[in-house]
Amino acid sequence: MKEGMLLNSVTEFILLGLTHDPDLQKLLFIVCLVIYLITLAGNTLISVTIFTSPALATPMYFFLSYLSIIDGFYSSSIAPKMIYDLISERSSISFNGCMTQLLTEHFFTAAEIILLISMASDRYVAICKPLHYITIMSRPVCIFLVRSAIILGFIHGGIQILFMAQLPFCGPNIIDHFMCDLVPLLELACTDTHTLGPLIDANSGSLCLLIFSMLAVSYIAVLHSPRNHSSEGRRKALSTCASHVTVIVLFFVPCSYLYLRPMTSFPNDKAVTVFCTLLTPMLNPLIYTLRNEEVKKVMKKLWGQMCKASNT
């Protein structure tokens, strides 16, 4: 009974946010809002373009469309609250809201990781086994991989919530961050977390390390495959994989920094988390479209049709 009272003694958390400087808060509000709107617009544009264009009905673009959707939802699970708090007099979040934010954050992160594996597999099959590509990467297989990303993402997020549900929170309730995450919550728990901390670290940090290693090996194999091909073949393979590798580095370097370490706060945590939640989802559509002539052509065609329809 006493433990249950401890578990329910904190009903909300106070978020200290990014900064206490009022002028800097106003500047960050404008910058973060613009970045978030660009993120939504860019990822929505990619998804709509791919879904409406028969020319982009291939597994690679199928995965890219869902990556854009996940990026948009992932950023939306954190950014609006962070942006609002920059102009709010008191930044707080309910206990249930905190757990929901934690669940959605790790759900979308894990789903994106699995989707990046699917995209790497698609590139490996396309370049290393081109004769079997249509058979291996069939439509049912692609749908299965996307569904698997969603299911495994939910399992990963659920495990994090189960870890947190075991902890009693009896005060203080002040989080020196702009969001709820594992490390700040562990530091507020009214119990010894030396045992639970490594388990959470293994669930998140080991996942980052394992998946990053798998992706690195797969892309090394992809880039090694066309060595005996023509220079045009090598150029095409490098061009095809360059965007994927860039996105993987942008995703896994911050992820590794946050979770492949002891479960304690560091001064740069806020900046790295802002990069993950705002900048990476914004950069992903830019990286894929700026390096992909096919997507740019379809976007220009779609934009021309929309302008023509609006003028008639």
Q: Quick one: pLDDT at residue 229?
A: 55
Predicted local distance difference test score (pLDDT) of residue 8? 56
Residue 2 counted as domain residue: no
Identify whether 1 is part of a domain: no
pLDDT > 70 fraction of the chain, expressed in percent and rounded: 84
Reference 16, options 213, 231, 227, 172; nearest CA is: 172
Continuous segment of H or E residues that includes residue 175: strand 174-175
- Say yes or no to pLDDT of 5 above 50: no
- Whether the bond into 59 is cis, omega within 30 of 0: no
Q: How far apart are CA 183 and CA 306, in angstroms?
A: 47
Higher pLDDT, residue 194 or 229: 194
Quick check: 6 pLDDT over 70? no
pLDDT band of residue 29 (cuts 50, 70, 90) is very high
pLDDT (0 to 100) of residue 14: 92
pLDDT in tens, 214-271: 887 877 777 676 555 555 555 665 666 777 788 888 888 888 787 777 667 777 888 8
pTM: 0.86
User: Of 39-53, 177-191, 196-210, 238-252, which range is least confident?
Assistant: 196-210
Q: Is the pLDDT of residue 147 over 90?
A: yes
**Residue 5 belongs to a domain:** no
CA distance 312 to 293: 29
In total, how many domains does the chain have?
1
* Average of per-residue pLDDT values in the chain: 82
Residue 4 within any structural domain of the chain: no
Tell me the β-bridge partners of 174.
14
Distance CA 282, CA 214 (A): 25
Map tokens 């708090």 to a residue: 85
What are the backbone dihedrals phi and psi of residue 306, each rounded to the nearest 5 degrees, phi first? Answer: -65, -40
Q: Does residue 6 form part of some domain?
A: no
In a domain, 40, yes or no: yes
Give me the mean pLDDT over the 189-198 stretch: 74
Q: Are 193 and 167 in contact (CB under 8 A)?
A: yes
Assigned token pair, 41: 């617009």
Q: Is the dihedral of CA 154, 159, 161, 162 positive or negative?
A: positive
- pLDDT (tens digit, 9 = 90+) per residue, 269-296? 888 889 988 999 998 888 877 667 777 7
pLDDT at 312: 64
Which residue reads 């220009």 in tokens?
300
Q: Give SS3 for 266.
A: coil
Report yes or no on 27 lying in a domain.
Answer: yes
% pLDDT > 90, the chain: 27
For the stretch 55-84, pLDDT in tens is: 888 898 899 999 999 999 999 999 999 999
The answer, yes or no, to whether residue 134 has pLDDT greater than 60, is yes
Quick one: average pLDDT of 198-203?
Answer: 67
Higher pLDDT: 39 or 165? It is: 39
**Pick the residue with more confidence: 184 or 27?**
27
Round to whole Å and give the CA distance between 41 and 48.
10
CB 282 within 8 A of CB 34: no
Tell me the mean pLDDT in the region 18-44: 92
Domain hosting residue 42, numbered range: 11-311
The enclosing domain of 251 has a CATH number of 1.20.1070.10
Report whether pLDDT(194) > 80.
Answer: no
- pLDDT exceeds cutoff 70 at 123: yes
Q: Give CA–CA dist 208/285, Å, rounded.
A: 22
Residue 275 DSSP class = I
Specify if 298 maps to a domain: yes
